[in-house]
Structure 1
Amino acid sequence: MFNTQYKKLLLTSAFLTASTSALAGYEINITENDKLTFGGYIKIDARYVDGDIAYRDYWIGDGIALEEDASQFRIFANETRFNTKYQHGEITGFIEMDFWGGGGNEIVSNSANPRIRHAFINYKDLTVGQTWSTFMNTSAIPETADFAGATTGLVFIRQGQVRYNMGNFQVSIENPESWGGDTANDNIPDLIARYNIKGDWGNVSISGLARQLHTLSGNTESAFGASVAARIKTTGKDDLRLQIHKGDLGRYVGAAAVKDLYGEEVEDITSVLVAYRHFWNDSLRSSVLYGKVDGDVSNRERTQWGINLFQNLTKELEVGIEVGNFSIDELDKDSNYLQATMRYIL
């Protein structure tokens, strides 16, 4: 009984201690086998957009084309996020949320709703829950002020899944969705296999996707696609990030750039992303990036480029500025953007 009461007191004291300094990303050892970790970051962005694609707080693979040019400026903190990791022996649970869940009254309070990003359980080589798709190599995402940056060339998707790791090989079944088709009959999970190659030089991932899609008229279509993504170290601390995607990938690539289905046809896409990050010194660096996605059936074509400069004021605090352009090429529409950011890593 004494031990039980002592553990409760220890846990209560730990939470009280953490509550006064949770922004520091504290790790709390509850017992020899139990540990809590709190983390995340606070990010403030100032963004200006000018052109004939309507303002967005961050670019996705689609936008609203305007008849005439417009310009808009906003300051916001919605990308701010927090996470908690629970560890008990070989079991890990992870939850992360940010504030892109909607809401926000710019007239009065600018309140924004939190949304779930990740919620998964990891046990040995098994991962179950919502997190980045196995099809996605997160190390190949460029460093940007714009949220995710050059999404037009990225595999960018979080969803429910069951993943099993076998050394460098990963296989998963993931949530199905016939975007543009009959979602009511999506009864077979997407199947993804991925092989990772790692070394002192960086990493390369090769991924394959197989799934079943349903058209609105009731037809069933098989869809297949492949991806190669890499982060390659070059000179000093510099690195090159590459992604190439091809096939019936639809919603997996470009963050809403193209649907899975158009009418009775499965969309075939070609997508590329290239980004180079150069360190001017230990804390000052720049990235130049270019992303593009083309849809064969829809003839949709999206392009984004950007260049930025980041400086660490301290180990935890960084500031940055980025300029770039997003275009809907088949409509001959584009907007330029300028974004400044400050991020405090918890």
Structure 2
Amino acid sequence: MISNKKLTVLAVSTALAAMPLSALAQAMDAKAMEARMLQLEQEMQQMRAALQQYQQRESASAAASSSPSASALDATRVATAAAPAAPATTMPNAMAGTKFSFGGFIKLDAMSTHTSDGEMADGSAGRLFYFPSATPVAADGNGHSASYTDVHAQFSRFWFGADTTTDSGDKLKAYIEADMYGGGSNAFAGNEVITNTYALTLRQAYVSWNNWLAGQTWSNFQDVAALPDTVDFTGPSEGTIFSRQAQLRYTRGAWSFSAENPQTTITPFAGKGARFNSGVDTMPDLTARWGTRGDWGHFTAAALLRSFRYGGDTETGAALSVSGRFNMGANDDLRYMVSGGSGVGRYLGFALGSDTVLDEEGRLHAMDGYGGFAAWRHAFSPKLRGNLVYSVAVLDNDAALTGYEVTEKAQSVRANLIYSPFPKLDLGVELSHATRRIENGEEGDMNRLHTHVKYNF
């Protein structure tokens, strides 16, 4: 296309070339020059109009020669270019409208432990977190003390969730969670020699549909919201109902009910042999929970009903648990849990006691146990908080059946300070003292200085 600037130059040059020398002389006159410029402007407008007519004829000719399919294709291209691009699907197999979420934390634990009456095996649960039954015991004067330092990041965790609300209003949720507390798979993995490599551990994996939940998660008999704010991974575990397992749960309002995976722990008659598990249970563990909450905190009450089976014999057990949190002003709260009953063994204190014991004739008897904790939390400032926690479990053993090597009582007290220089980053230090006593009177204690660095994301 010829530009307006080029047209102007062409018109002026043509006019100048056609002018005689006398006209050039006259052009020196201002009035003559002004008239001539007006004439040139008119000629330029006429040339511009002629050019526009030419362009219109060319466009009409091109449109007439194009095929209908080409025109449709051009129209489609224009429409496609005008329409906004559809957002890319994050996961193509997911239901439309699904919202995905991801999170977890990195946690470094470093601790120095001293036991008064024996050693805990390297890499065992008691060396990584507070495991009440791992505290060594011995008769007075017969034990030997031991000290160890352990540093690990095995409890670092991640989770993935998918939430969907259908057009009809149904709410679907999928959730999976894992950490690295899973041991190793070869001679160099899962130890402190070279790689400190650890396998994944499945913690939770469930799907929910409106009021129903199916999969593995915390037992409905447990109140996770009441757990204290501790540096140790489990904190006051001897007095805590603590269990994750597969279940089918229904929740409606303040009530929830579940049928959960059964598993029976059994102590042989007179303690002749190690505790073992029965894999022949046929009835699920049944639970019911009621809860209420408000600005003051929350309160829950839960019941557990169990059926035990081994060989040709059966037994039943039942337990209750109450727990909650009470807010005492803006900077303080009190958290608590009290639980007990018959056959509560594997739910209390990391299976500190057994669910059942066999008599001399091989019949099952449910064992009683009780436990609880109380924890006071105080915020000194928005960045600094502290906790003071006491926990205890007492097992009502029939020594004539269980023998005298089973745990009678375990308790612990701990105090900590947790500083958060930035949101989601915790730097914690905790001092704890724990004791365990068995039926024959032997006992031992454990003292631990535990620190952690934890970043939530």
Matched, 1:342 2:423: no
Gaps of 5+ in 1: 15-29
How far 1:299 moved relative to its partner? Answer: 5.4
Q: Which amino acid aligns with 1:56?
A: R
Q: Which amino acid aligns with 2:356?
A: L
CA contact (8 A) 2:127 2:150 kept: no
Give 1 or 2: higher strand fraction: 1
Give the Cα–Cα distance (whole angstroms) in 1 for the partners of residues 318 and 177 of structure 2: 31
Corresponding residue of 2:283:
188
Give the Cα–Cα distance (whole angstroms) in 2 for the partners of residues 233 and 39 of structure 1: 28
Corresponding residue of 1:42:
106
Corresponding residue of 1:141:
227
Matched, 1:176 2:240: no
Corresponding residue of 1:280:
380
Map Cα deviations across residues 312-345 of structure 1 (whole Å, 9 max, x no partner). 1100211000000121123320110001101010
1:77-226 superposed matches below 5 A: 77-89=153-165, 90-103=171-184, 104-180=190-266, 183-215=278-310, 218-226=312-320
How far 1:31 moved relative to its partner? Answer: 8.5
Corresponding residue of 2:150:
74
Corresponding residue of 1:27:
none
- Of residues 317, 324, 328, the one that matches 1:230 is 324
Corresponding residue of 2:333:
239
Corresponding residue of 2:434:
326
Give the Cα–Cα distance (whole angstroms) in 1 for the partners of residues 387 and 208 of structure 2: 33
How far 1:62 moved relative to its partner? Answer: 0.8
TM-score (normalised: structure 1): 0.89
Give the Cα–Cα distance (whole angstroms) in 2 for the partners of residues 163 and 187 of structure 1: 18
CA contact (8 A) 2:136 2:443 kept: no
Report the 3-state secondary structure (helix = DSSP H, G, I; strand = E; otherwise coil) of the residue aligned with 2:191: coil
1:19-34 superposed matches below 5 A: 33-34=97-98
**What is the aligned length?**
326
Corresponding residue of 1:24:
none
How far 1:139 moved relative to its partner? Answer: 1.1
Report the 3-state secondary structure (helix = DSSP H, G, I; strand = E; otherwise coil) of the residue aligned with 1:62: helix
Q: Which amino acid aligns with 1:323?
A: L
- Of residues 231, 235, 257, the one that matches 2:352 is 257
Give 1 or 2: higher helix fraction: 2
Corresponding residue of 1:25:
none
Report the 3-state secondary structure (helix = DSSP H, G, I; strand = E; otherwise coil) of the residue aligned with 1:300: strand
How far 1:193 moved relative to its partner? Answer: 0.3
Give the Cα–Cα distance (whole angstroms) in 1 for the partners of residues 174 and 90 of structure 2: 18
Corresponding residue of 1:20:
none
Question: Larger relative contact order (C-alpha < 8 A, sep ≥ 6)?
Answer: 1
Give the Cα–Cα distance (whole angstroms) in 1 for the partners of residues 446 and 388 of structure 2: 18
Give the Cα–Cα distance (whole angstroms) in 1 for the partners of residues 96 and 326 of structure 2: 38
Give the Cα–Cα distance (whole angstroms) in 2 for the partners of residues 101 and 251 of structure 1: 20
Gaps of 5+ in 2: 1-79, 121-125, 138-142, 166-170, 185-189, 267-275, 359-363, 398-405
How far 1:64 moved relative to its partner? Answer: 5.2
Q: Which amino acid aligns with 1:93?
A: A
Map Cα deviations across residues 50-77 of structure 1 (whole Å, 9 max, x no partner). 0135251101231152631111001110
Map Cα deviations across residues 277-336 of structure 1 (whole Å, 9 max, x no partner). 011111211100011111102552111110000011100211000000121123320110
Map Cα deviations across residues 247-290 of structure 1 (whole Å, 9 max, x no partner). 02111111121111122321101101111001111121110001
Report the 3-state secondary structure (helix = DSSP H, G, I; strand = E; otherwise coil) of the residue aligned with 1:315: coil
CA contact (8 A) 2:353 2:407 kept: no
How far 1:105 moved relative to its partner? Answer: 2.1
Identity %: 30
Q: Which amino acid aligns with 1:254?
A: G
Corresponding residue of 1:11:
90
Please identify the structure whose Cα radius of gyration is greater: 2
Map Cα deviations across residues 57-111 of structure 1 (whole Å, 9 max, x no partner). 1012311526311110011101100000011221110000001111212110000
Give the Cα–Cα distance (whole angstroms) in 2 for the partners of residues 64 and 58 of structure 1: 11
RMSD between aligned residues = 2.1
Report the 3-state secondary structure (helix = DSSP H, G, I; strand = E; otherwise coil) of the residue aligned with 2:317: strand
